[in-house]
Amino acid sequence: MIRALAFIVALICAAPALAQPLPAGLDKQNAIVIDTTKGRIVIKLRTDIAPQHAERIKQLAREGFYNNVPFHRVMDGFMAQTGDGKNFDGTGGSKYPNLKQEFSNVHFKRGIVGMARRGDSVDSANSQFFIMFADGASLDGQYTVIGEVVSGMDVVDKLKKAPPGSAGGAVTDPDKMVKVQVASDIK
């Protein structure tokens, strides 16, 4: 009951974001819209450089896998990570097999979205992804770029951050992705 009430409150808070128009010229077939507890984020997926990863994100969004999933790891000045719709804490993935890396020459900078992976295994991306707050050149060629925020970086900036020195950037009582949709599916 409490969880249902919390979800309803989150939807009410996200209601103003639901009315926002999408950016002009957006390829709605290849974009995801993330309504969070702080507002709306729109990501243009890079099907040209990471087609398998982009398809996975769209598939999981259409299945509702990302709905009510927390931004479990948010490190100020670095990145915000989410996408664990299984365990909700950064330890889980989807029911689908891991993906082989699709590295590119795209530089990790503010607004770039990359796929998270496990440890040193480059072919272990599954469902989790992260949004860069700032430049992250050390990630170039090490992680798959799947997209870029085209609207809502101000929302990303508002996400609750982990306290300095916290283990792995873990956030207590994190903000959530209330609803994630492929833009073309929004009615």
Question: Could you please report the per-residue DSSP string of 149-183?
Answer: EEE-HHHHHHSPPPPTT-GGGB-SS--EEEEEEEG
How high is the pLDDT of residue 20? Answer: 72
Query: Which pLDDT tens digit goes with each residue over 143-184?
Result: 999 999 999 999 999 999 999 888 788 999 999 999 999 999
The pLDDT of residue 14 is 47
The domain of 80 spans 2-185
pLDDT class for 1, splitting at 50, 70, 90? Answer: low
CA distance 91 to 173: 17
Q: Are the beta carbons of 151 and 40 closer than 8 angstroms?
A: yes
Total domains in the chain come to 1
17 falls in which pLDDT band (50, 70, 90)? very low
Predicted TM-score (pTM) of the model is: 0.89
Neighbours of 137 (CB within 10 A): 9
Q: Could you tell me the CATH number of the domain that includes residue 167?
A: 2.40.100.10
**Summary mean pLDDT of the chain:** 91
